[in-house]
Amino acid sequence: MFKSNVFPVTDIAIGGGTEQIVRGGRHLFHQLPQGFSGMKQIGVIGWGSQGPAHAQNLRDSFMGTDMKVVVGLQADSPSCVRARVGGFSEADGTLGEMYSVIGSSDLVIVHISDAAQAELYKQIFAALKPGATIGFSHGFILKHLQNVGGSFPTNHNVIMVAPKGMGPSVRRLYVQGKDVNGAGINSSFAVANDVDGRATDIALAWSVGIGSPYTFLTTMESEVHSDLLGERGVLLGGVWAIVEVEFRRQCYEEGRDPRDAFVYAVESLTGPISQILSKEGLFGLYKSICEQGDQDEFDAAYTIAYKASAPILAEIYGEVSSGNEVRSVILAGERLKTTPMSVIGDTPMWRAGIHVRAHRSDMIPMNGHLAGMYAGMMMAQIDLLVAKGHPWSEVANESVIEATDSLNPFMHARGISYMVDNCSRTARLGARRWGPIFEKALECGFGSTEKPTDYALMEQFMKHPIHEALAMCSGLRPSVSIAIE
Amino acid sequence: MFKSNVFPVTDIAIGGGTEQIVRGGRHLFHQLPQGFSGMKQIGVIGWGSQGPAHAQNLRDSFMGTDMKVVVGLQADSPSCVRARVGGFSEADGTLGEMYSVIGSSDLVIVHISDAAQAELYKQIFAALKPGATIGFSHGFILKHLQNVGGSFPTNHNVIMVAPKGMGPSVRRLYVQGKDVNGAGINSSFAVANDVDGRATDIALAWSVGIGSPYTFLTTMESEVHSDLLGERGVLLGGVWAIVEVEFRRQCYEEGRDPRDAFVYAVESLTGPISQILSKEGLFGLYKSICEQGDQDEFDAAYTIAYKASAPILAEIYGEVSSGNEVRSVILAGERLKTTPMSVIGDTPMWRAGIHVRAHRSDMIPMNGHLAGMYAGMMMAQIDLLVAKGHPWSEVANESVIEATDSLNPFMHARGISYMVDNCSRTARLGARRWGPIFEKALECGFGSTEKPTDYALMEQFMKHPIHEALAMCSGLRPSVSIAIE
């Protein structure tokens, strides 16, 4: 439960209960100074995946106010050039050395990499000016502090605003949706420390300012568990596995040539399946598969994918919540100084995709088997997150909406690496670790001698509260599809 | 450096230096009472992978002495039945309740699962009788103690004897090699705590007693790092990946039907490739591939497999040495109470294998491409272990000899699950986690646009000190091939 002195809080009925949200929109931008309660300078530290989106969106949203955004980077960081291209400069005081920006900002938004946060958090906390608020865009740092026995500063507000989509989508939808009030990526927010009663309104102003169509409450712990699970699961690692397995099935069981197989595996998923999921949710997808006569195929694939994915998702959740996965990411930091991350898109399958995209037709088939697999894995993830007590808004965004509205458009535009490698390093490492494990489990599931459709499972699918939740979420955002060249 | 008052210590020239070893053999069994320095009762706790082998081998080796082996199990353990079949019984005092056996034994050999050790170590340490020695068969417990801030008892000898092969092999080779003096599985030993100067001789007696052809010195930390790396790497996870990738290549690039493809992928590896590796090492394998005219194929596959595997092996080593992998195994214990481990052998490929084995011919081809992949991954693991400072005997055993002498015969007899799932739970979990990651890396490596043979890498291969080390190891054990029906 939360209250705002600035933004209207709405109750929504979702998952059989109610959740509080704040709807966003450009009509609220004039209230940002009030939400930020007199702050003059927002420091955005780092220029990676989320940094540019938050810095540019907030700057644009502040137009006509006396608030400014200053980007802080390590001296000599190669990102300085990119920040200048993004419209920030030393000359007008909107680009500066990281610790100097931290020391002069009223709100410090930390967007350096997870590994860098783990390395530098003590210095960053120490550099805050009295009364300043510190903000994070996901809960990674909390898990790291738990692992090493560290803690947040007790004399500063500590907040989080976590967009449910990668940074480039947060920026693109803000720009592309300029004329459609409320277009953007949903965000969750959390207050880890509220020293002066302002923390909630500051977080809400930040979220409204970056263009979130709606903002819901979570905790940093709930956020990081669902975020790391989601990206390791169906959003990145899992979907990668699904299209690889389906591509092979199309080639070797359906006898298609690689380009045709690519259309039935990848294009079908990033095209019509994602579109209908985005607009009509999982039930809409199911209805449309049934209408084209492929219900049996869907059910069989759903059953296998659900059962193959559920144990892996449970394993990932355990690794994440125990802090192990965060430890792995920190360890990788050292390794990556000498060994680059593996290349994932240079295989015959993804090379076939280059040709397919170059000669793309509007008639992309809706593959019922593929849709069943995808829905089965999504639902396994949804059931796990619900069982672990995550808010329904978080469940819906981390399992479905982030896929369709933020991530899949990147795979559609340029393939697997363009989607995965536009995400955070934590996500990139996680997808590389868990994607192949999902792939093997799906392969074993589909290759197994036992694979009857589980009609009780399908019954659960049809009655699932997620359908109502997705319909609710659809109603809360205008349907601006992200366009990626 | 170590000294023994009982067994002859030999210097061997290996890897450009020397290592001390103790050669085993049945002619030393009469010295076991002296090695165990007056002990009367050896308690073997647990009846899993290694437990039966140590209990039965030691019991048989003690024939004609006044020493006895008593097996200790949790009351009502389902293993009691199997221990009775193995020749231990409550009636003659050779089977009893675990803590009662711990409290009455002079040497307590802990063979309960890694997860159970983590749960019960305090009670076990507390139950030791004064002056008793406690022994482990690998270093897992050390990593767990490091993770949780625990420690070994300071007033007891703490030793380790770690056979470089799964328990069933330790028993089979002991039985099958009865008439060939010295047949068995090599072991490493370590002394973590020596309170009375007897620790080294007790460990050596234990190793000689279970039939180790030779025993070399390590530390518990070095052992657990190399053991967990090895089984996650080329011994289980890696070799599984190799045969899966090669099977697909045989089907889809070479156009073979599944049974034929199985022969070229699995049979070739577990048959002629393993045999020549066991007798003539990596260089012998290379020579024989060159003789059949497949050098280019070998070199190209070696290059790709080496480069695809090295970063994953480095990642695994980091996860193991940081304690993360051990934390994962402990976490899994909870999960496995409700979710069984995944089934890995029920796919079209492994089902084809059932037919192949039922109609096996003696003419199994030696596949040069497959041999190159296998050698490339082995060498990446060897180079990593050498760089991390492991003794050459440990490197050779954990990367090559354990594969050929202990593990691959199980895959040859009944497929992947029969090999992997006869190992410890720690190994089974590790193979399931890392196998698919190797598979994906190999798939990307072989599917990549860039894959020229790296001649500098081949030059290194040809001059590598491992060839001499493997020749030395071959000379130290008689060539009894394990027979598995």
Q: In this predicted model, what pLDDT tens digit does every residue of A292-314 receive, in sequence order?
A: 999 999 999 999 999 999 999 99
Reported as a single tens digit per residue, the pLDDT across B269-312 is 999 999 999 999 999 999 999 999 999 999 999 999 999 999 99
Select the residue of A348, A436, A444 nearest B344 (Cβ to Cβ): A444
Among B236, B342, B438, most A C-beta atoms within 10 A, so best to mutate, is: B342
Q: How large is the average pLDDT for residues A189-210?
A: 97
> Which residue type is seen at B435?
G
pLDDT at B361 over 90: no
A437 and B439 in contact by Cβ < 8 A? no
Contacts of B251 in chain A (CB under 8 A): 252
CA–CA distances in Å: residue B230 to residues A22, A232, B227, B313: 53, 26, 5, 9
Question: Is B334 in the A-facing interface, judged by CB distances under 8 Å?
Answer: yes
Contacts of B435 in chain A (CB under 8 A): 440
- Are the C-beta atoms of B180 and B482 separated by less than 8 Å? no
Among A444, A446, A450, most B C-beta atoms within 10 A, so best to mutate, is: A444
pLDDT at B31 over 70: yes
pLDDT at A165: 87
Q: Rounded to a whole number, what is the distance in Å from the CA of B236 to chain A's nearest CA?
A: 15
- Bridge partners, residue A158, by sequence: A134, A193
- For A21, list phi and psi in degrees, rounded to 5: -140, 165
SS3 B116: helix
Reported as a single tens digit per residue, the pLDDT across A395-417 is 999 999 999 988 999 999 999 99
* CB under 8 A, 24+ apart: contacts of B441-444: B441/A342, B441/B241, B441/B308, B441/B309, B441/B311, B441/B312, B442/B241, B442/B242, B442/B245, B442/B304, B442/B305, B442/B308, B442/B309, B442/B373, B443/A347, B443/B245, B444/A342, B444/A343, B444/A344, B444/A346, B444/A347, B444/B308
A328 and B319 in contact by Cβ < 8 A? yes
B342 and A444 in contact by Cβ < 8 A? yes
A439 and B436 in contact by Cβ < 8 A? yes
Sign of CA dihedral B342, B345, B346, B349: positive
Of all residues in chain A, the one with the smallest CA distance to B338 is: A311
pLDDT at A84 over 80: yes
Q: How large is the average pLDDT for residues A219-245?
A: 98
Residue B191: band (very low, low, confident or very high) from pLDDT cuts 50, 70, 90 = very high
Q: What residue spans of A359-480 are helical by DSSP H?
A: 368-387, 392-396, 408-414, 416-420, 425-447, 455-462, 466-475
pLDDT at B54: 98
Question: Is B257 in the A-facing interface, judged by CB distances under 8 Å?
Answer: no
Task: Please identify which of the residues B54, B111, B138, B464 carries the catalytic annotation.
Answer: B138
CB pairs under 8 A between A and B: 90
Closest to B282 measured CA to CA, from B184, B365, B427, B395: B395
pLDDT at B405: 87
pLDDT at A485 over 70: no
pLDDT at B194: 97
Give catalytic residue positions of A.
138
Contacts of B388 in chain A (CB under 8 A): none
CA–CA distances in Å: residue A130 to residues A41, A270, B140: 14, 48, 48
pLDDT at B68: 97
Helix (H) or strand (E) holding A113: none
> In this structure, what DSSP letter does residue B435 have?
H
Reported as a single tens digit per residue, the pLDDT across B33-42 is 999 988 999 9
Percent of chain A's residues with pLDDT above 90? 86
When the pLDDT of each residue in chain B is averaged and rounded to a whole number, the result is: 94
Which residue has tokens 């410090």? A108
- Are the C-beta atoms of B385 and B466 separated by less than 8 Å? no
- Distance between CA A168 and CA A405 in Å, rounded? 12
Residue A75 in tokens? 């001296």
Closest to B44 measured CA to CA, from B100, B104, B139, B111: B111
Of all residues in chain B, the one with the smallest CA distance to A331 is: B318
SS3 B45: strand
- Distance between CA A213 and CA A453 in Å, rounded? 39
Q: How large is the average pLDDT for residues B186-195?
A: 96
> Edge-to-edge strand order for the sheet containing A187-193?
A10-14, A17-23, A214-217, A187-193, A157-163, A133-136, A107-110, A41-45, A68-73, A95-97
Q: Rounded to a whole number, what is the distance in Å from the CA of B413 to chain A's nearest CA?
A: 21
B328 and A343 in contact by Cβ < 8 A? no
- Are the C-beta atoms of B190 and B218 separated by less than 8 Å? yes
pLDDT at A480 over 70: no
SS3 A43: strand
pLDDT at A369: 98
pLDDT at B74 over 70: yes
Q: How large is the average pLDDT for residues B403-407?
A: 91
Which residues of chain B from 417 to 436 reach within 8 Å of chain A, CB to CB?
432-433, 435-436
Percent of chain A's residues with pLDDT above 70? 98
pLDDT at B483 over 80: no
Question: Is B319 in the A-facing interface, judged by CB distances under 8 Å?
Answer: yes
SS3 A17: strand
Of all residues in chain B, the one with the smallest CA distance to A332 is: B315
Reported as a single tens digit per residue, the pLDDT across A129-187 is 999 999 999 999 999 999 999 999 999 999 999 999 889 889 998 998 787 766 788 99
- Are the C-beta atoms of A229 and A189 separated by less than 8 Å? no
Question: Is B346 in the A-facing interface, judged by CB distances under 8 Å?
Answer: yes
- Are the C-beta atoms of B183 and B419 separated by less than 8 Å? no
Select the residue of B311, B328, B439 nearest A436 (Cβ to Cβ): B439
CA dihedral B236, B319, A433, B371 (to 10 degrees): -30
pLDDT at A419 over 60: yes
Contacts of B432 in chain A (CB under 8 A): 437
- Distance between CA A156 and CA B482 in Å, rounded? 67
- Distance between CA B72 and CA B123 in Å, rounded? 14
Which residues of chain B from 152 to 171 reach within 8 Å of chain A, CB to CB?
none
Contacts of A347 in chain B (CB under 8 A): 443-444, 447-448
pLDDT at A205 over 70: yes
Question: Is A151 in the B-facing interface, judged by CB distances under 8 Å?
Answer: no
pLDDT at B376 over 80: yes
Residue A419 in tokens? 């989607």
Q: How large is the average pLDDT for residues B59-83?
A: 95
Contacts of A342 in chain B (CB under 8 A): 311, 441, 444
The total number of residues written for chain B in this structure? 485
pLDDT at A207 over 60: yes
pLDDT at B219 over 60: yes
> Which residue type is seen at A337?
K
CA–CA distances in Å: residue B110 to residues A485, B43, B101, B126, B186: 62, 8, 11, 14, 19
- Are the C-beta atoms of A179 and A64 separated by less than 8 Å? no
Q: A184 or B456, which is more confident?
A: B456
Q: Distance of alpha carbon A379 from its chain centroid, rounded?
A: 17
Helix (H) or strand (E) holding B50: none
Residue A482: band (very low, low, confident or very high) from pLDDT cuts 50, 70, 90 = low
A331 and B319 in contact by Cβ < 8 A? yes
Select the residue of A324, A327, A437 nearest B436 (Cβ to Cβ): A437
Which of A28-42, A470-484, B180-194 has the highest average model confidence (pLDDT)?
A28-42
Question: Is B227 in the A-facing interface, judged by CB distances under 8 Å?
Answer: no
pLDDT at A435: 98
Contacts of A319 in chain B (CB under 8 A): 328, 331
Q: How large is the average pLDDT for residues A442-470?
A: 94
Select the residue of B318, B344, B443 nearest A335 (Cβ to Cβ): B318
